[in-house]
Chains A and B, each alone.
Chain A
Amino acid sequence: MHDQEETLAFTEECEVAVTVNGQRYERRVPVRMLLSDFLRHELRLTGTHVGCEHGVCGCCTVLLNGEAVRSCLMFAVQANNLFLTTIEGMAGTQSELHPIQQAFMEKHGLQCGFCTPGVIMSVHSLLHENPDPTDEEIREGLSGNICRCTGYQNIVEAVKLAAERLRPEEVE
């Protein structure tokens, strides 16, 4: 995909077209608008949370073309013509939760829920890359997301359960 017009000049506003959770959105935004703010306040997808705005806490993690990234460390314009998945896209409108979400529920992997969407997006990416992680790999894979409530115990358990349930599908 290419933009229609390609102006070679620095500008303060830009057109942005992104596909989020399978739906295409087009907006004109100030170039300095962070992707996290764009998702939350322009698209009203408030499941992506903002916890530090300097790229450490991981609350704002989303999938950009399938890979986990910090949405607070990108500008909305940079997502132009790219594909995003946010927590709202995990189960979509289905009544059943995604297996990762389901595992978090069964294992009590969340308390206040603020870090949870970011954690789940990271876990999605982690299990995609490594469907059968060891405990150590899980802990390492989670280390880019800070949770202040759970002490990570039940998050690790939830990831193990989700991995177990997701694996057979991937083998087939």
Chain B
Amino acid sequence: MATRWFGAPVQRLEDPRLLRGKGTYVDDIELPQLLHAALLRSPHAHAKIANIDASAAMALPGVYLVLTAVDLGEVLEPSPLLVPHAALEQPRTQLPLALDEVRYVGEAVAMVVAESRYLAEDALDLIDVDYEPLPVVHSLDVATREDAPLVHADVPGNVAAHLVQQVGDPDAIFASAPHVLRESLLIDRGAAMPMECRGIVAQWDALEEKLTCWISTQAPIPIRNGLAAIFHLPEHKVRVVAPDVGGGFGTKIMMFYPEEILTPFAARLLGRPVKWIEDRREHFISANQERSQEHEVEYAFDEQGTLLAVRDRFLHDAGAYTPYGIIVPIITACTLPGPYRLRHYASEFTVLYTNKVPVSPYRGAGRPHAVFVMERVMDGIARELQLDRLEVRERNFIAPDEFPWDVGLVYQDGGPTKYDSGNYQAGLEKLKALLDYEHFHEQQASARAQGRYLGIGIGCYVEGTGIGPYEGALVSVESDGRVHATTGVTSQGQAHATTLAQIVAEQLGVAIQDVMVTTGDTHAFSWGVGTYASRSATVAGSAMHLAARKVREKAQQVAAELFEAAPEDIELAVGKVFVRDAPHRALTLGQVAISANPLRYAYGENARKLMGMKLAGPRPGPALPEERGAPGLEASAYYSPPHGSFASGVHGAIIEVDLTTGQVSFLKYAAVHDCGRLINPTIVEGQVHGGVAQGIGGAFYERLVYDETGQLSNASFMDYLLPTAAEVPPIVVDHVETPSPLNPLGVKGAGEAGVIPVAALFASAIDDALAPFGVRIREMPLHPCRLYELLQEARSQGK
């Protein structure tokens, strides 16, 4: 009986290396003659650059190069707009170095290359920039004022984009609905904060005229393509490698960050390799951020709590540029309906420029905002009708037999927002059991009798995952029987080397330890897009499955000839290939690979043994028969989903609020997650855990605070509070497996899910705990001081 790899909670193949400190992150790469770069960044949120004097910096011993915008020649072009959209009427992207105006604190102004990073930073202190400060747009409030200063002088009203979408006839429903409520809801800025900051090492090989870049990125292939275009190089002369990457969470899917252009530019100019490693302070002011939106939501419902229609208008803070188009607000608009049967929905958003760090997706990418809004709506209905909050949700759930369910909106990838499968009630049932929901109210009542305020909160969500366009994979059996599998998606900790190996091992009947996975090296595999939108397992995993299946079929074909049997009677198991019912006469997979490659010379143990076996001789005719195609056991395959697959889940928590201090503690946290078939449950659970921790951060600890001059007030880990082990409670995870009909594996994405419902359920739990005072949470993230204020407000209104 063959071992099943798919679905097994196997240990990770990448761990021994990482645990020994033998990983290779970008800053671990050392090259002969390596120089080090540092960036001068704008201290102003908005200013004209009148003059830059870098002479003193250039004169500092050990400094090799000081670059300002004027030194960049034809490379001084705005970064490409990644995802254009018709509604994005005023796209603006950033120059690699600011020329005459800076639009956020942290915008790159000059680059120094020196013998060491220490010296490069010394030189930064010697660059004299003459700034003329301009009025600052530090918030959405300022951006929308009638007399607002303009972030871009040629963008009226700071409006980058405006998009209206509609499903059904919401106006008619609102006109006749029994109940209509309206609320303003706010989500403030946060950031991904991977533990490894960004970084790049660029090497120019003058002999081969070849550029190699190691970048801490989620998208090496698009960067390779872009660098080739920017530097007028053939694509095969540019190699981009994402080595071990210390977390990304979306912030590293953005391209081009200025340094990704400047560092290779400098390396080519100097003829020496150059390294730039972002430090944490830079990361705070120059790596993209997310989340800030202001929603005005109206919702209509009937006496039974059936949601009839939603009208949501929101403002989205883009920061100073829109390199990633309007992906985030589109996802918000499309995620809002969630698991509910919403047939009448009007969505309208305006994307505004502000003098802040640009916005591009951070884990969740617009979804936590949408779920916060929709789950507030569900709670609002329950409150208004005095119904149980879960009962309201259950009444509105799309039923299992209603799939596929077309929400009726155009999704971020231009395809339909069409739920492929789901079973929302099943997830909620599991969650109720995990939290002992039925008995919570007794617990709550007895706690209240002792002056303790407990609350339970639930958050349901549907997550678009696994979008196109496509990914590919190449699977190749080596002569020693080990399998090399490559794909274009990269790993930032998601364990691709393990899960993709499981997919391949399942097809080829080998141990996962014999599957070597290479990701993120454009010289190993150069087609594909990148790791984002919870799509690696779905899209690259499916491609890997298809490629491995082709290899299996070819192995069967080759072995069938050798054994003079029918291909369908050939089995692959435990590294062996044999005729079913005759496993004693087996070839190793490596021997089949050797046989599939009709060389005159074959080496190694496998080849020697092969020669001693009495197998069918070669057929007459070409050594490589036409039907066999290519030599060896190798195949590539591509997978392009018809549209995204929609994962779902429900999380819940029991919390306690300290009325005096506004401090909140988690007593219980449970998550039920449905990402279709599980490739490796342990890894999926790990993804959920990490997402929840980031969600807790985004609900109660992490908030980027900009002052009215556009300075980030908390640009350090002392003041931007990432949760530690002492703040994150134990998390219980359970699964529902509703296979996706869209891909051969039946899988859906899992990477972002954990973070998505946390803000929503946290708000719900606080409302519940503080129900005696009538507190209603309308903003995220909170912090103890703010919660204290909200409680005071509610108390004074109650009196």
A and B: direct contact (Cβ < 8 Å)? yes
Q: Is B206's CB within 8 Å of the partner chain A?
A: no
Docked pose: A21 CA to B683 CA in angstroms: 32
Are A143 and B726 closer than 8 Å at their CB atoms? yes
What residues on A are CB-neighbors of B244 within 8 Å?
Answer: 112-114
- Supposing A87-B21, A114-B195, A143-B725 touch, asked if A50 and B27 sit within 8 A by C-beta, the answer is yes
From residue B27, how far is it (CB to closest CB) to chain A in Å? 7
What residues on B are CB-neighbors of A30 within 8 Å?
Answer: 118
Are B195 and A148 closer than 8 Å at their CB atoms? yes
- Supposing A110-B18, A153-B689 touch, asked if A46 and B28 sit within 8 A by C-beta, the answer is yes
Are B247 and A114 closer than 8 Å at their CB atoms? yes
What residues on B are CB-neighbors of A48 within 8 Å?
Answer: 21
From residue B636, how far is it (CB to closest CB) to chain A in Å? 28
Docked pose: A49 CA to B197 CA in angstroms: 11
What residues on B are CB-neighbors of A82 within 8 Å?
Answer: none
Give the contact stretch, choosing among B227-235, B294-302, B489-497, B643-651: B489-497
Are A111 and B19 closer than 8 Å at their CB atoms? no
From residue A78, how far is it (CB to closest CB) to chain B in Å? 17
Interface set, chain A 148-164, CB cutoff 8 A to B: 148-156
From residue B299, how far is it (CB to closest CB) to chain A in Å? 33
Are B15 and A104 closer than 8 Å at their CB atoms? yes
What residues on B are CB-neighbors of A87 within 8 Å?
Answer: 19-21
Bitwise, A61-78 to B at CB < 8 A (1) or not (0) is 000000000000000000
What residues on B are CB-neighbors of A115 within 8 Å?
Answer: 195, 246
Q: Is B686's CB within 8 Å of the partner chain A?
A: yes
What residues on A are CB-neighbors of B693 within 8 Å?
Answer: 148, 150-152
- Supposing A57-B717, A105-B15 touch, asked if A139 and B494 sit within 8 A by C-beta, the answer is no
Contact of A97 among B16, B25, B731 (CB under 8 A): B16
Q: Is B80's CB within 8 Å of the partner chain A?
A: no
Q: Which of A48, A106, A111, A144 has the largest count of B CB atoms less than 10 A from its CB? A: A111
- Chain A residue nearest to B731 (CB atoms) is A153
Are A152 and B725 closer than 8 Å at their CB atoms? yes
Contact of A116 among B19, B27, B728 (CB under 8 A): B19
Interface set, chain B 723-768, CB cutoff 8 A to A: 724-726, 728, 730-731, 754
Q: Is A91's CB within 8 Å of the partner chain B?
A: yes
Are A114 and B25 closer than 8 Å at their CB atoms? yes
Are B118 and A33 closer than 8 Å at their CB atoms? yes
Are A108 and B30 closer than 8 Å at their CB atoms? no
A residues contacting the other copy or chain, number (CB 8 A):
58
From residue A165, how far is it (CB to closest CB) to chain B in Å? 15
What residues on B are CB-neighbors of A112 within 8 Å?
Answer: 194-196, 244-247, 492-493
Interface set, chain A 82-131, CB cutoff 8 A to B: 86-88, 90-91, 97, 101, 104-106, 108, 110-117, 120
- Chain A residue nearest to B24 (CB atoms) is A46
Docked pose: A122 CA to B668 CA in angstroms: 27
What residues on B are CB-neighbors of A59 within 8 Å?
Answer: 195
Docked pose: A50 CA to B279 CA in angstroms: 9
- Which secondary structure characterizes the binding site on chain B? loop
Bitwise, B674-703 to A at CB < 8 A (1) or not (0) is 000000001101100111111000000000
- Chain A residue nearest to B29 (CB atoms) is A46
Q: Is B51's CB within 8 Å of the partner chain A?
A: no
From residue A14, how far is it (CB to closest CB) to chain B in Å? 15
- Supposing A40-B27, A111-B495 touch, asked if A91 and B20 sit within 8 A by C-beta, the answer is yes
Q: Is B22's CB within 8 Å of the partner chain A?
A: yes
Are B20 and A146 closer than 8 Å at their CB atoms? no
Q: Is B12's CB within 8 Å of the partner chain A?
A: yes
- Chain A residue nearest to B495 (CB atoms) is A111
What residues on A are CB-neighbors of B11 within 8 Å?
Answer: 105-106, 108
- Chain A residue nearest to B688 (CB atoms) is A151
From residue A118, how far is it (CB to closest CB) to chain B in Å? 9
- Which secondary structure characterizes the binding site on chain A? loop
What residues on A are CB-neighbors of B249 within 8 Å?
Answer: 148
Contact of B726 among A49, A56, A139 (CB under 8 A): A139
What residues on B are CB-neighbors of A106 within 8 Å?
Answer: 11
Q: Is A32's CB within 8 Å of the partner chain B?
A: yes
Q: Is B173's CB within 8 Å of the partner chain A?
A: no
Docked pose: A52 CA to B197 CA in angstroms: 9
From residue B691, how far is it (CB to closest CB) to chain A in Å? 8
From residue B112, how far is it (CB to closest CB) to chain A in Å? 17
What residues on B are CB-neighbors of A33 within 8 Å?
Answer: 118
Contact of A46 among B21, B717, B724, B728 (CB under 8 A): B21
Docked pose: A51 CA to B494 CA in angstroms: 19
Bitwise, B245-269 to A at CB < 8 A (1) or not (0) is 1110100000000000000000000
Q: Is B153's CB within 8 Å of the partner chain A?
A: no
Are B246 and A49 closer than 8 Å at their CB atoms? yes
Q: Is A147's CB within 8 Å of the partner chain B?
A: yes
- Supposing A148-B194, A148-B690, A149-B690 touch, asked if A138 and B725 sit within 8 A by C-beta, the answer is yes
- Chain B residue nearest to A56 (CB atoms) is B717
Q: Is B792's CB within 8 Å of the partner chain A?
A: no
- Supposing A56-B717, A111-B686 touch, asked if A32 and B118 sit within 8 A by C-beta, the answer is yes
From residue B531, how far is it (CB to closest CB) to chain A in Å? 12
Are B19 and A97 closer than 8 Å at their CB atoms? yes
From residue A61, how far is it (CB to closest CB) to chain B in Å? 12
Are A51 and B689 closer than 8 Å at their CB atoms? no
Are B686 and A148 closer than 8 Å at their CB atoms? no
Are B195 and A153 closer than 8 Å at their CB atoms? no
Are B725 and A47 closer than 8 Å at their CB atoms? no
Q: Is A2's CB within 8 Å of the partner chain B?
A: no
Docked pose: A161 CA to B102 CA in angstroms: 52
Are A113 and B14 closer than 8 Å at their CB atoms? yes
Are A146 and B246 closer than 8 Å at their CB atoms? no
What residues on B are CB-neighbors of A132 within 8 Å?
Answer: none
From residue A74, how far is it (CB to closest CB) to chain B in Å? 16
Docked pose: A143 CA to B728 CA in angstroms: 10
Are A148 and B722 closer than 8 Å at their CB atoms? yes
What residues on B are CB-neighbors of A101 within 8 Å?
Answer: 19-20
Contact of B717 among A40, A49, A143, A146 (CB under 8 A): A146
Docked pose: A44 CA to B30 CA in angstroms: 9
- Supposing A47-B21, A151-B690 touch, asked if A111 and B726 sit within 8 A by C-beta, the answer is no
Q: Is B331's CB within 8 Å of the partner chain A?
A: no
- Chain B residue nearest to A48 (CB atoms) is B21
Are B686 and A150 closer than 8 Å at their CB atoms? yes
Docked pose: A96 CA to B197 CA in angstroms: 31
- Seed contacts A88-B20, A142-B724; 11 additional CB < 8 Å A-B pairs: A33-B118, A40-B28, A41-B30, A49-B196, A51-B195, A52-B716, A53-B280, A110-B18, A114-B247, A147-B725, A151-B689
24 sampled A-B residue pairs with Cβ under 8 A: A30-B118, A46-B21, A46-B24, A47-B22, A49-B196, A56-B716, A88-B21, A90-B21, A97-B16, A101-B20, A105-B15, A110-B19, A113-B19, A114-B194, A115-B195, A135-B730, A140-B725, A140-B726, A145-B725, A147-B195, A148-B193, A149-B686, A150-B689, A151-B691
Q: Which B residues have a C-beta under 8 Å from some C-beta of A?
A: 11-12, 14-16, 18-25, 27-28, 30, 118, 192-197, 244-247, 249, 279-280, 492-495, 682-683, 685-686, 689-694, 716-718, 722, 724-726, 728, 730-731, 754
Q: Which A residues have a C-beta under 8 Å from some C-beta of B?
A: 30, 32-33, 40-41, 44-54, 56-57, 59, 86-88, 90-91, 97, 101, 104-106, 108, 110-117, 120, 135, 138-140, 142-156
| 6 closest cross-chain pairs (CB), A and B | A47-B21, A114-B246, A112-B493, A113-B18, A151-B693, A151-B689
